Structure 1
Amino acid sequence: MGILSGMTGFARVTGEESWGAWAWEAKSVNGRSLDVRVNYPPGFDPLEREVKAMATERFNRGSLQVSLRIDMASGTGGVVIDHVLLGTLAEAARKALGADLTPEAIATLMTLKGVVETGSSSLRDLAADEAVMAIISAGARQAMDQLAEGRRAEGASLLAMLSGHLDAIESLSAEAAELAATQPGLIKAKLLKQLEDLDREGRIDAERFAAEAALSAARADVREELDRLAAHVKSGRDLLKAGSPAGRKIDFLAQELNREANTLCSKSASLELTNAGLSLKGVIDQFKEQAANVE
């Protein structure tokens, strides 16, 4: 039996070294495909490719947001000013204003993103250290493993709920089958009542009435819909048993279940069968809602 996984989860892995502390956070939500976004400090660019490869190995669907934070130990940081960028901005401002910049204006320019970076030089030096990168990379792998474990835990809950919905669909289908067996009699009685009201002189012969009754009964026959519902329930259980990735298939199956329930309601000749069909639709909607969370 395979393992069913969900698509939501959270993981956090931290560590401390002589040079400072680091923390990985990984969040996952539903997604039609696998989308991985990685945030990291300056200089740690190679980790993006590694993290995306780790995600591809573990997941098939989901929108992942993975971030790395590094806090340098006291005394190891520094302030770096991008003089080239600051000069470019100052020259552009000087031309726009037509006058030299005041110290206050220059101070404002230094608050713009990228002009001043705190500790970025030390971070880049840190990223150049293979031993440090190995520690950070191992932390990322641990975070992704924890995230996968969380998604499997969600999958276990989804398995219980989806299995329960399939049981309910099977039970309601059996109830609908019993009610459907009374359809021909109800149709005949309805036609007889109409005939009595409209043909008091007995102009319509028995053969024509029998043909009309047979045609109406054929139109109201829901045995095919009930057979397909039973087949879909079996397919659903097989998909759940096989495990992820199964989300797209289960979602498509929910659409097919809903199609059969709609047809059953449209063919119904009694309020009781219509109500059974509506109950089916309600459970199928719940099944579809939870299916959207399956990887």
Structure 2
Amino acid sequence: MIYSMTAFARKQFKGDWGTAVWEIRSVNQRYLESYFRLPEQFRGLEVNLKDIFRKRVQRGKIECNLRFEASSSNDNALSMNQELAAQVIQNTQWILDKAGSGTFNAIDVLNWPGVMQTPEQDLDAVTVELMVGFEQTLNEFIDARAAEGTNLAAFIEQRLTAIGEQANKVRSFMPEVQVWQKARILKKFEDAKVELDSTRVEQELVILAQKTDVAEELDRLDSHISESRKVLKKGGPVGRRLDFMMQEFNREANTLGSKVINSEITAAAVECKVLIEQMREQVQNIE
């Protein structure tokens, strides 16, 4: 399976504790980098989340966001720690009696840390549910990468087929090109009114054949096509391998275009370069 580095997944969850939304998105990156935006009370999850990503994803710049909204009943329900409030009042009064003057404000008592309380949520239980939601979101995220990867593999396969067709076209032209080049050499001798020497002609033709022989380049193109298909079939994190193959394709296409002086073969070489560039752009998206 081929995986794209570009994907997005979003999932919302609700419970007695409130509402949570996980969002995971990724873009191209040479290595694996993960960034998190988590509510303060759940910052402790980051180490665990990073470890999960390392096990499931090989490459890409990943942003993982969690939006958490506690239920309104938990937000608004206040209770008073009456025992603590009584101790605050008693101690404050003792200080005032000793000082012999001064007053205290009842609001100050309410503002004393711990006097007014909101019911504490069971964060461990909430965390368990949030992690279940994260796993579901991550699965959708991986599925999205796989679906896009399948499309990328099909795109590359089409271009590989087209490059093979261009290579075969060049092969079919080569006999005609060789005949044309031989006639061109003979015409030059004739125009120069040089007496034809069979040995000299043969030497010139051999030199020209060596300069314009593209059999090796065509064979290498076929080999690169075969190897690229093997890489696609193998699957997994193959983006770097395919990127290397694109460099090899370009090398052969450039050599092919520079060896033969023929408009049709030159056009085939240019078309190969266009196809290779299209593949190279898409390979950058593959994990």
TM range (shorter): 0.7 to 0.9
Offset of residue 45 of structure 1: 1.7
| Alignment equivalent of 2:273, drawn from 270, 273, 281 | 281
Distance 1:283 1:142, change over 3 A: same
Q: Name whichever of 205-214 and 148-157 sits farther off.
A: 205-214
Query: In the TM superposition, what is the alpha-carbon distance from 1:122 to its structure 2 partner?
Result: 7.5
Per-residue Cα deviation, 1:62-118 (whole angstroms, up to 9, x for no partner):
11100011112225348xxxxxxxxxxxxxxxxxxxxxxxxxxxxxxxxxxxxxxxx
Say whether 1:62 aligns with 2:70: no
Listed one character per residue, the Cα deviations across residues 225-283 of structure 1 (whole Å, up to 9, x for unaligned) are 00100110100111111112111111111111111011001001311111111111111
Q: TM-score, normalised by structure 1?
A: 0.79
1:240 paired with 2:232, answer: yes
Aligned to 2:252: 260
Which amino acid in 1 is paired with 2:152?
L
Name the amino acid aligned to 2:23. E
- Aligned partners of 2:57 and 2:138: how far apart in 1? 10
Counterpart check, 1:183 vs 2:181: no
Cα–Cα, structure 1 residues 255 and 122, in superposed 2: closer, same or farther, change >3 Å?
Answer: farther
Q: CA deviation at 1:161?
A: 1.1
- 1:209-228, Cα deviation, whole Å (9 max, x unpaired): 32122101111100000010
Give 1:70-85 correspondences, 5 Å limit.
70-74=68-72, 76-77=74-75
The whole-number CA distance in structure 2 between the counterparts of 1:254 and 1:32 is 16
| Residue matched to 1:46 | 44
Unmatched 5+ residue regions in structure 1? 79-120
1:136 aligned to 2:136? Answer: no
Could you tell me the percent identity over the aligned residues?
A: 35
Q: Which has the larger radius of gyration?
A: 2
**Structure 1 runs, 4 residues or longer, greater than 6 Å off:** none
The number of residues matched between the two structures is: 247
The residue type paired with residue 67 of structure 1 is N
Amino acid at match of 1:174: N
The aligned residue for residue 20 of structure 2 is 22
What residue in structure 1 maps to residue 93 of structure 2?
none
* 1:230 aligned onto 2:228: no
- Please give the secondary structure, in 2, of the residue aligned with 1:217: helix
List alignment gaps of at least 5 residues for structure 2. 77-116
- Contact 1:186–1:269 (8 Å) recurs in 2: no
